Amino acid sequence: MDTTEVDAAWAEVRARWEDEAAHRAFLDRHPDLEGLAEAGRRYKAALDAAPADPVAARWRDEIVRRATVVALSQLPRTKPPRRVSPGLRRLLMLALASGTVAAVAWAFLRLSRAAGGAP
C-alpha cells in the first residue's frame, strides 16, 4: 500500500474517529508488521496530540496485540525432543542396574582377595 492510499485511509479514520468500523477497516489494511508499525505511528501521533483520548489509546493497544500475534507467528518452530519408548527405557535401566551390580561385585572380589592375601 503506497503512502497516498494510507493517507487517504487515515483521513477517513480521522473523519469518523468515533466509528469502530472505520478503525477496524484501517487496521485490516495492515496485516503485516511493517503496516502495523505505520498504523501505530499514526495512532501515537494522535495520542501525542491528545494524551487522554481513549479512542486512540484503545486502537494503539489493538495494534500492539495484532503485532504481537504476527511476530509470534513468524517465530521458527522447533520439534519437541524425541521421547524414548517405555520398552527401550526399561532395557536401558536394566543394563545400567546390571552394570552397577557387576561393578560392585568386581570391587568386592578385588577387596576380599586383597584382604585375604591372594594375588
Amino acid at 2: D
Give the span between the Cα atoms of 41 and 37, in whole angstroms: 6
Give the pLDDT confidence score for residue 44 in this predicted structure.
95
**pTM listed for this prediction:** 0.63
**Burial profile 87-109: b = 16 or more Cβ within 10 angstroms, e = fewer:** eeeeeeeeeeeeeeeeeeeeeee
Give the pLDDT confidence score for residue 29 in this predicted structure.
93
Report the chain (119 residues): mean pLDDT per 10 consecutive residues. Answer: 87 95 94 94 95 95 96 87 87 96 94 73
Give the span between the Cα atoms of 36 and 30, in whole angstroms: 6
**Quick one: how many helices (H) and strands (E) in the chain?**
5, 0
